[in-house]
Amino acid sequence: MEVKRVAVLGAGLMGHGIAQVCAQVGKYEVNMRDIEQRFLDSGMTMINDSLARFVKKGTLNEEESKKVLGRIHATLDLEEAVQNADFVIEAVTENPTLKKAVLMDVGKFTPSTAIITSNTSSISITEIGAATGRPSQVCGMHFFNPPQLMKLIEIIRGLKTSDETVELVKQVSINLGKEAVLLKKDTPGFIVNRILSQALNEAVYLVAEGIATPEDVDKACELGLNWPMGPLKLLDYIGIDTDLFITEVMVKETGDPKFRPSNLLKQMVRANLLGRKTGRGFYDWTK
C-alpha cells in the first residue's frame, strides 16, 4: 500500500512535531486534529517557529517552508481527519482510557485498509489495538522529542500486529528520515524508557536525598557520561507528570520495585511544577 495522506491526532508537544516531519520530510498530506482551536493554533505556531529556525539555519528555504505549511491541514473533526487517511499516528495525552476512546472512533471512521499507529511511550499496544477492532493493523510508533530533530523511532508490535503492518511502519519511518528499532514483544516502557526511567528516577533520588543540586547532577552526566542533556533538565523537557505516569505504569505492569518513582516526583506533580510547560520544574523556565 502506498501512503499519501497521514492523520496526526494531537497538536501538542509531540503531535505538532510529528505532523511537521510528515509534511516536511515525508512530503505527505497531513491532517492534524485536536479537540480545541487553541490547541491547533498553538501547534501551528510551533510548526511555524520550527520552520523559521530551519530557514535561518539554511537547511530549508522560504518556498519549501510554505510548501510544508500547505501540506498541513488543521481540523477539530476526528472523522474528517481520518476518513481518507492511509496512515494514522495517534499522539494524544498519555492516558490509556483517552487513547482507547479515540482509537475506538478511529477504527470506525478510517478506511478498512488504513494502518493505525500510536505514539505512546508506555501503554500496551495489544490493549490499544483491541480498542480499534482491527488489531492486525495497529502498531506502536514511538517518536522522541523533538520529532523534528530526533532520529529514532521505536516500532512495537502488539500480540496481533501483522508482519505487513510492521513492514509498512518501517517504510514510513524511513520515508520520514528516521532510524527504526523493532520490539519483538509488547513490553512496558519499550527499550528507551525501560532503561531511561531508572536513570531519571535515580537522578531525582539524588536531589531528594540532598546529595547534589539539579545543576550538579546534570553537569556530572553531561561531562562524565557525555549525555547531551542532563537527566533533570531532560525531565523538565519531557514533563514531570509524563515521567511519573510512565514510571507508575512500569511498576504496575512489571511488578518490579526498581521502577518505583521518587516521592519528590509526586510532590512536584501535585504542586504543578511540571517543567517547561508550566514554567517551573527542576529549573526556572520563566526567565
Of 193, 197, 201, 262, which residue is the catalytic one? 193
Residue 189: CB partners within 8 Å, gap ≥ 6? 121, 122, 197, 246, 249, 250, 259
175 is catalytic: no
The dihedrals phi and psi of 7, each to the nearest 5 degrees, come to -105, 125
How many angstroms separate the CA atoms of 101 and 88, rounded? 15
Of 31, 119, 142, 173, which residue is the catalytic one? 142
How many angstroms separate the CA atoms of 41 and 153, rounded? 26
154 is catalytic: yes
Neighbouring C-beta atoms of residue 18, cutoff 10 Å: 26
Of 50, 119, 121, 201, which residue is the catalytic one? 121
Of 31, 50, 154, 197, which residue is the catalytic one? 154
16 is catalytic: no
- The residues carrying an active-site annotation are 121, 142, 154, 193
